[in-house]
Amino acid sequence: MAFQNIALKGYNRASHWQLVFQMEKLPLFVANLEAALKLTNSPLSIVDYGCSEGFNSMQFFNKSLELLRKTSQRPVSILHTDLPKNNWTEFFNVLNNPHNNYLTKGNVTYSALGRSFYEDILLPESVHVGFSAFAFHYLSKEPIRKPGDTGIFHSAYVEQGRQDMETLLNKRINELVPGGTLMIIVGARTEQLNTKMGRLYFEPLSNLIKMGVISQEDFSAFGMTTYAFTLSEWQTLLKKLENKVKVIELKMEKSICPFYLEYLKDKDIEVYKDELMKFVAQMMKVQVNTFINRTQEEKDKILEMLKTEIKNLIHSDPSEVYMEFTTLVLEKLK
Ligand SMILES: C[S@@+](CC[C@H](N)C(=O)[O-])C[C@H]1O[C@@H](n2cnc3c(N)ncnc32)[C@H](O)[C@@H]1O
């Protein structure tokens, strides 16, 4: 299951925006840890679903434990999960670097597990606190487009996205102890189209089509590997789950690109272009590697050309860049 591929190699170097956003959610997560202390006298079992190369997870859990340790020395185990083909070498390098990891916080052990989160990962009722940042919007498989159903948001894609999130939440709820919590951060979709981000994403591709580097045929196979819920989609899904969980938080919010905010202060367009380009290129890398049918060498060449196009576009239009994210916290009913 899962149609992710090796494309997230290099994620640690291109995911500062995600880190900035998840660090803002620390108080919410620490409240979940503190609530879990009241559920048991045993060590706390925490799971991080979709850890990737681990740098952001280390920052997040390091700070969370620092805050928890102000009030409790309760032993904690943290399990990091991702796909078997995740870049685990980089993950363990990060984890074993004392400057990054949380092991110095005391009474804490870690483990890591390579298995799709579309499978059952843990025993039922064994997790006190679940966490997942920027991962549960990845689809389980490529939606098969119905004949004549054109466009990026075709009906099979929408159905797949909705069905996948329901599957994921049910599996995670099953793994939680009664009273345990799950916090997830995922991409969001609002009524207002995010035209700037859309432009940064599609215009470079369109330029490469004009140059004859990507064919129309290549592009017609293009799809999305992630699906972002609207608020009303969340409300419909959460209604279905109301006999299993209580909603502690459901918040959709705008996150202004941190590199853009730095650019407003420093006026250093080169740094801004570079940082934002790395963020956009990392997303494009997944799409190019998944949907374009070429040799790896050709795909890498296409990616390099896309990077140049993205930078040119940022240079020509230094207006605000933002994304929308959803934070959801669920508590399993006792
Ligand atoms: C954008 S990264 C998020 C990394 C990190 N949590 C963060 O916040 O920066 C998404 C991760 O989800 C993982 N992922 C995607 N589909 C998955 C699946 N079916 N099972 C497990 N992990 C998956 C990818 O491999 C990737 O490492």
Sequence-ordered alpha helix ranges (H) in 45-135: 55-68, 88-95
Rounded average pLDDT over 243-266: 95
Domain membership of residue 206 (yes or no) is no
Nearest CA to ligand 1 atom 15: 138
Q: Do 141 and 160 meet the contact criterion of CB atoms below 8 Å apart?
A: yes
Domain membership of residue 263 (yes or no) is no
Rounded average pLDDT over 229-253: 98
CA distance 252 to 226: 17
Q: Do 4 and 41 meet the contact criterion of CB atoms below 8 Å apart?
A: no
Domain membership of residue 114 (yes or no) is yes
Q: Is the CB of 83 under 6 A from ligand 1?
A: yes
Percent of the chain with pLDDT over 90: 74
Domain membership of residue 308 (yes or no) is no
Domain membership of residue 158 (yes or no) is yes
Q: Is the CB of 135 under 6 A from ligand 1?
A: yes
What does the pLDDT look like over 302-329, one tens digit per residue? 999 999 999 999 999 989 999 999 999 9
CA distance 147 to 80: 40
Ligand 1 center from residue 229 Cα (angstroms): 17
What does the pLDDT look like over 178-197, one tens digit per residue? 999 999 999 999 878 888 99
Domain membership of residue 107 (yes or no) is yes
6 pLDDT higher than 50? no
Domain membership of residue 136 (yes or no) is yes
What does the pLDDT look like over 128-138, one tens digit per residue? 999 999 999 99
Q: What is the pLDDT of residue 8?
A: 56
Rounded average pLDDT over 253-268: 92
Nearest CA to ligand 1 atom 27: 52
Question: Residue 145 CA to chain centroid, in angstroms?
Answer: 24
Q: Tell me, what DSSP letter sits at residue 138?
A: B
- The CB density around residue 262, as the number of other CB atoms within 10 Å, is 14
Ligand 1 center from residue 45 Cα (angstroms): 20
Helix, strand, or coil (residue 52): coil
CATH number of the domain bearing residue 71: 3.40.50.150
Q: Is the CB of 58 under 6 A from ligand 1?
A: no
Out of 23, 47, 52, 167, mutate this one to test ligand 1's pocket (max ligand atoms within 8 Å of CB): namely 52
Question: Residue 236 CA to chain centroid, in angstroms?
Answer: 22
Give the model's confidence band at 4: pLDDT under 50 very low, under 70 low, under 90 confident, else very high: low
1 pLDDT higher than 50? no
Out of 4, 5, 29, 87, mutate this one to test ligand 1's pocket (max ligand atoms within 8 Å of CB): namely 4
What does the pLDDT look like over 29-56, one tens digit per residue? 999 999 999 999 999 999 999 999 999 9
Domain of 19?
6-190+223-256+321-332
Q: How far is CA 34 from CA 48, 128, 290, in A?
A: 17, 11, 41
Out of 17, 61, 82, mutate this one to test ligand 1's pocket (max ligand atoms within 8 Å of CB): namely 82
What does the pLDDT look like over 63-94, one tens digit per residue? 999 999 999 999 999 999 999 999 999 999 99
> What is the domain count for the chain?
1
Q: How far is CA 256 from CA 63, 148, 226, 304, 320, in A?
A: 23, 37, 20, 26, 7
What does the pLDDT look like over 138-164, one tens digit per residue? 999 989 888 888 777 899 999 999 999
Q: What is the pLDDT of residue 7?
A: 45
Ligand 1 center from residue 53 Cα (angstroms): 9
Domain membership of residue 85 (yes or no) is yes
Q: Do 275 and 15 meet the contact criterion of CB atoms below 8 Å apart?
A: no
